[in-house]
Amino acid sequence: MDALFIDGQWREPDTDPITVRSPVDDGVLGSVPSGTAEHVDEAVGATAAVATEFRELNVYERAEAVKAAMAAIEERADSIAETMAREVGKPVDEAREEIDSAVLSGRSYAEDAVRLFGEVTPSRFEDRLNYTQREPYGPAAVVTPWNYPLEIPTDHLSAALVTGNPVTWKPASDAVLTATHVAEAFARAPLPEGAFNFVPGSGSTVGAALAGHEAVRLVAFTGSTDVGQRIAARAAGRSAGCLLELGGKDPVLVLDDADVERAADAIVMGSNYNCGQSCSGTERVIATEAVYEDVVAAVSERTAALTTGDPLAADTDVGPPINDDVRETVRDHIADALDRGARVTAGGSVGDRYCEPTVLADVTPEMRVATEETFGPLTPVIEVADTDEAVAVANDTRYGLQAAVFTESLRTAHRVINALRSGGVVVNGTNNVWEHQLPFGGFKQSGSGGEYKGKWHLEGMTQVKSVAIDYGD
């Protein structure tokens, strides 16, 4: 099987394969040859060789290439959705939603890029014109996770390529079959040879080689905070740019005047969509004492009604987690919480394949489930006295990605929005959401270097050049 795409050519190296097993039944789905540090060096060399040509290529031509890749993805949407369901356990309806969202965003990046304007600025000197223009960094590395194995790579690749950055992409090994569909789409696009390169492999080999390569001028990474910080440290040694979208311990605040039924719907979706494996998923529910019991009851009732099972089945709400690491974290967080006085109000079982969607009541802020990222279908509910305490508990974390608040008071909503140290705040809706024309990124240790989605993503993939022209005598 052709697995690596380097300098315009598919390669099938004689290397140790990446064997992909289904989280549904541990059956082997396929294997893909693994790249090496030498392959990374060759791919990055190709991006360096084409960098000037690609930077000078008209933005409209780059935009058409991205649109062609989106058309190729759309053509094989059914096959990709099935692959995704089998490979990462995502319910097939959610997989189709991800494909639709990715294609929409890719086409939007293509349209946005032709309107990525500079600015004309005033000068204090006579007969002088000041302006700025945006230019690509040059050779870029894109390193992506398994939880949204199509949308996150497609977004990063589209944003990088349409702004003129030639790319080497390393996908997550747990989602390399889905990634191959994406790679084939971009390989078919009318891009110069060397502009797009695909090197799957381990993080310790391929990822480390990309992050540390002297010729790579920008690293776009989505994944865990700890890995992102290591990548940033390596890139800092050569002053390379980093666009990091990292982990979260995202809170939902349910205040005294909240619509509890509406909040419960949003919480259950936020905690269990994609089996809870979303950086913006609902990781903590913080409810004031006036509504706490009602929130626990409503969330528990809805959570207990979810159907867990085969991601290809039409009635499945929650598929299996990707691997044993997720199951073990969920199991450990439940056990620690119960040892410290929490109680299970829905679910509670973690099996060999599936995690039963679970609600924990009487959680306190020092429990592991309230401080560490779970990344699974687990909903801890914390009781607080009032809005001020809710905000204080929400902010008491190293993360700051995406929050939500439920209140019927516009005044309270604005006060909470301003007080939360979070990159995004949703009022009266799930925090587990993003859309193309709104920046997505984190405060604190949830990200740095720019935003994801829309024109903000394109800005993060470019540098600002200042120009001053004296036109007087």
C-alpha 21/C-alpha 24 separation (Å) is 9
Tell me the catalytic residues: 245, 279
For the chain, report the end-to-end CA distance as a whole number of angstroms: 66
pLDDT at residue 185, rounded to an integer = 98
Task: Please give the average per-residue pLDDT across 309-335, as a whole number.
Answer: 97
Q: What is the pLDDT of residues 154-184, one digit of tens each?
A: 999 999 999 999 999 999 999 999 999 999 9
In which band, very low, low, confident or very high, does the pLDDT at 450 lie, cut at 50, 70 and 90? confident
Residues in the chain: 473
**Considering the chain, what percentage of its residues have pLDDT values greater than 70?**
100
Beta bridge partners of 242: 219
Q: Are 355 and 383 in contact, with CB atoms under 8 Å apart?
A: no
pLDDT at 25 over 90: yes
Q: Are 142 and 167 in contact, with CB atoms under 8 Å apart?
A: yes
Beta bridge partners of 170: 143
Q: What is the pLDDT of residues 214-260, one digit of tens each?
A: 999 999 999 999 999 999 999 999 999 999 999 999 999 999 999 99
Q: What is the pLDDT of residues 87-106, one digit of tens each?
A: 999 999 999 999 999 999 99
Phi, psi of 357 (to 5 degrees): -55, 130
Alpha helix positions (H), 167-318: 176-188, 208-212, 225-236, 260-272, 292-304
Q: What is the pLDDT of residues 363-381, one digit of tens each?
A: 999 999 999 999 999 999 9
Task: Please give the average per-residue pLDDT across 178-200, as a whole number.
Answer: 98
Task: Please give the average per-residue pLDDT across 412-436, as a whole number.
Answer: 97
pLDDT at residue 175, rounded to an integer = 98
Q: What is the pLDDT of residues 385-396, one digit of tens each?
A: 999 999 999 999
Q: Which of 269, 302, 267 is nearest to 404 (CA)?
A: 267
pTM tops 0.85: yes
Domain boundaries, the chain: 4-246+442-469, 251-427
pLDDT at 1 over 70: no
Q: Is 348 left (phi over 0), alpha (psi -120 to 50) or beta?
A: left
Mean pLDDT across the chain: 97
Q: Are 286 and 258 in contact, with CB atoms under 8 Å apart?
A: no
Exposed, middle or buried, 470 (CB in 10 Å: 0-12/13-18/19+)?
exposed
Considering only the top CATH level, what class is 4-246+442-469?
A: alpha beta
In which band, very low, low, confident or very high, does the pLDDT at 437 lie, cut at 50, 70 and 90? very high
Phi, psi of 129 (to 5 degrees): -110, 125
Tell which CATH classification among 3.40.190.10, 3.40.309.10, 3.30.465.10, 3.40.50.920 matches the domain 251-427.
Answer: 3.40.309.10
Q: What is the pLDDT of residues 129-138, one digit of tens each?
A: 999 999 999 9
Q: Are 326 and 372 in contact, with CB atoms under 8 Å apart?
A: no
Least confident of 56-70, 127-141, 286-300, 439-453: 439-453
pLDDT at 2 over 80: no
Least confident of 149-158, 316-325, 447-456: 447-456
Phi, psi of 347 (to 5 degrees): 70, -135
pLDDT at 113 over 80: yes
Strand order in the sheet with 241-245: 9-11, 4-6, 196-198, 167-170, 140-143, 218-222, 241-245, 447-448
Q: Which amino acid, 342? A: A
In which band, very low, low, confident or very high, does the pLDDT at 473 lie, cut at 50, 70 and 90? confident
